[in-house]
Chain A
Amino acid sequence: MKMVNAFNMKRAAAGLRRINLDGLRWRVFDAKGQILGRLASQIATVVQGKDKPTYTPNRDDGDMCIVLNAKDVCVTGRKLTDKVYYWHTGQVLCLKHFSLNIDIMVYRYVGHLKERTFKDQMAKDPTEVIRKAVLRMLPRNKLRDDRDRKLRIFPGSEHPFGDRPLEPYVMPPRSVREMRPRERRAMVRAQKKAEQQQQNTDGTKKGKKREAPEESA
């Protein structure tokens, strides 16, 4: 998988000529505050055309999907720091030279296992996060590349498709489970801390600043 270095608006709008039918709808997904995987699975069903009664498995009939606010997509747990994207570079070719009863094996184009955390990927190109998630949810067949072409992801809310008939996609209702006790305690503690800080700043702001250099001296 090639890693795009930065987001390119031109690239996001290109290649529309290759998509044949325009009896397709243009669905707009707002990724703000949505959880990555749950959003990606909905996008995958729409891009495949599985929500239409005329779904045919050998024909690509999915709608055009525009995803906005990709930089605001959320992730639960410790995935911000712990989710790692891996990919391997380099081609390993071995050549055997049978010369003078010695066989030499040569590896060319040595690459390595590369990795990048979720946080770094979001900093570099937030659209790739959603794109990878959706592509990996699509079936690996000949239609996968065409479906990829129907996905247009933008980090902000601006997109060059303003003149098309856009339809916003309403995410299906979701039941969020209640917080685990440890999480809840941490949240309560954070809230109390925030309240205390507010109280302190409301009280004596200048007084505290004068005290600090005196203590150090």
Chain B
Amino acid sequence: MTRIKRGYIARKRRTQIRLFTSSFRGAHSRLTRTISQQKIKALVSANRDRDRKKRGFRGLWIHRINAIIGKNKKKQYNRYSNLLYNMYKGQLLLNRKIVAQMGILKGNCLLMIANEIIT
């Protein structure tokens, strides 16, 4: 067989990966082998965390709702759990994101609704 060099095929492939990894820190954007590894890790993290992001934000909304509901000292059971229970009972189909945003922007509205609902 005649001798065939690979030429610059490998280099072409790696420059694409290098572009992706160009903003990484230290050796992770400079050394060829680590660049390939880091790209894989980054894409794996991104994929996994797209689902984690949804969980994270839901927890944050719940936390915020709890914080503002707890300030209403009129009712005895002023907690997130009670608010949600009564919302489901009263068939109020607001999701946590909207309720949390209401709590930030129009806190009084949320407290009015909570006073009506929570027994």
Contact = CB atoms under 8 A, between A and B. Distances in A.
A116 B63 CA distance: 38
Interface in B63-118: 63-65, 67-68, 70-71, 100, 103-104, 107
A183 interface: no
A144 B17 CA distance: 38
Q: Label chain B's interface by main secondary structure.
A: helix
B60 interface: yes
Contacts of A161: none
A53 interface: yes
A50 interface: yes
A23 interface: no
Interface string A39-77: 000000000001111111100000000000000000000
Contacts of B71: 51
Contacts of A54: 64, 104
A53 B103 contact: yes
Contact of A50 (B65, B67, B103): B67
Chain B's interface size range is 10 to 19
A54 B60 CA distance: 10
A53 B100 contact: yes
Nearest to B64: A53
A53 B114 CA distance: 15
Interface string A106-135: 000000000000000000000000000000
A48 to B, nearest CB: 11
Contacts of B70: 51
A1 to B, nearest CB: 30
A203 B103 CA distance: 67
A55 B71 CA distance: 14
Contacts of A57: 60
A51, A53, A56, A57 pick with most chain B CB within 10 angstroms: A53
A24 to B, nearest CB: 16
Contacts of B63: 50, 55
Nearest to A170: B73
A55 B64 CA distance: 7
A52 B63 CA distance: 9
Contacts of A52: 67
Contacts of A56: 60
A145 to B, nearest CB: 23
Contact of A51 (B67, B100, B103, B104): B67
Given A51-B70, A53-B100, 8 more contacts: A50-B63, A51-B67, A53-B64, A53-B104, A54-B104, A55-B63, A55-B64, A56-B60
20 contacts: A50-B63, A50-B67, A51-B67, A51-B70, A51-B71, A52-B67, A53-B64, A53-B65, A53-B67, A53-B68, A53-B100, A53-B103, A53-B104, A53-B107, A54-B64, A55-B60, A55-B63, A55-B64, A55-B67, A56-B60
